[in-house]
Amino acid sequence: MTTTTRRILAVTALAAALALVAGGGYGLWYLFLRPAGPAAVASGSQAPVAITGAAAQPLASGGLPGTWDVDTSIGSFSDFSDSWVGYRIQETLASIGANTAVGRTPNVSGSLTITGEQVTAATITADLTALQSDDARRDSQLSHNGLETSSFPTATFALTSPIDLGSDPTGGQEIDVTAQGTLELHGVTKAVSVPLKARLVGSVIEVTGSLPITLADYGITPPTSFIALSVDGTGTLELQLLLTHA
């Protein structure tokens, strides 16, 4: 073995060792030092949104019917106290192992219509190009892999059957309902039933819910990379909407 060959092998071994140390260091940071991810909306551990200012004023008697719009001026995306739509899915990361990936977008629009004691129409659209997780590398991958947001930038839910509210909800009373409709995701539209929790807080309707999503049903191939070694074929769509009377 020549001196040059020995030097090349030594440099190669050193580079591999440094990569291993760097990867291990990232794994330790991710496991022990990174902030905890946001709680699932269905877990019961998510704190209720605090409504303040004019929106906290009680709704006038009989003021529930009419059109309600998603109001993006309420709350903050920094603590998820605003309106958002997102995903939750299991993945396997290099040097780390199993991990729950959570991404959310605050760019949500839409409205619902209440007639009497029923929600008779609703359309909600989320801008998936604005999805943010705890890792910008994961977010950038979604542009051309997985959700392929460069080709399919939005997801839209449209109500197809009225939702019976049962009665005119009083302030703070949480009710459980199911929204029957269609979900357009990744260019595919499918019928879905979304379990929701709703309550009237001041003059704001707060809606939360989650829906299991099988990626293959929407033609989505689980994205992988040198960091994300694998991604489950089933995830969860999550949402929180804050709506005010139009």
pLDDT at position 28 is 42
Which CATH number applies to 48-245?
Answer: 2.40.128.110
pLDDT in tens, 186-207: 999 999 999 999 999 899 999 9
pLDDT at position 6 is 54
164 DSSP β-pair partners: 118
Question: How confident is the model over 112-124, as a mean pLDDT?
Answer: 96
Contacts 24+ apart (CB under 8 A), 58-64: 58/171, 58/202, 58/203, 59/171, 59/200, 59/202, 59/203, 59/245, 62/168, 63/203, 63/245, 64/114, 64/168, 64/169, 64/200
Which residues touch 190 (CB under 8 Å, ≥6 apart)?
182, 183, 217, 218
45-54, 61-70, 216-225: which has the minimum mean pLDDT?
Answer: 45-54
pLDDT at position 3 is 59
pLDDT at position 167 is 67
Q: Tell me what the pLDDT averaged over the chain comes to.
A: 84
pLDDT at position 4 is 56
Q: What are the structural domain ranges in the chain? A: 1-34, 48-245
44: left (phi over 0), alpha (psi -120 to 50) or beta: left
Residue 5 has pLDDT above 80, yes or no: no
The first and second tokens of residue 52, run together, are: 């303040």
In terms of pLDDT, which residue wins out, 97 or 83?
83
97: left (phi over 0), alpha (psi -120 to 50) or beta: left
pLDDT at position 62 is 80
Residue 42 has pLDDT above 80, yes or no: no
DSSP states of 156-202 as a string?
EEEE-S-EE-SS-PPBT--EEEEEEEEEEETTEEEEEEEEEEEEEET
Give me the torsion for CA of 94, 222, 80, 240, rounded to 10°.
-160
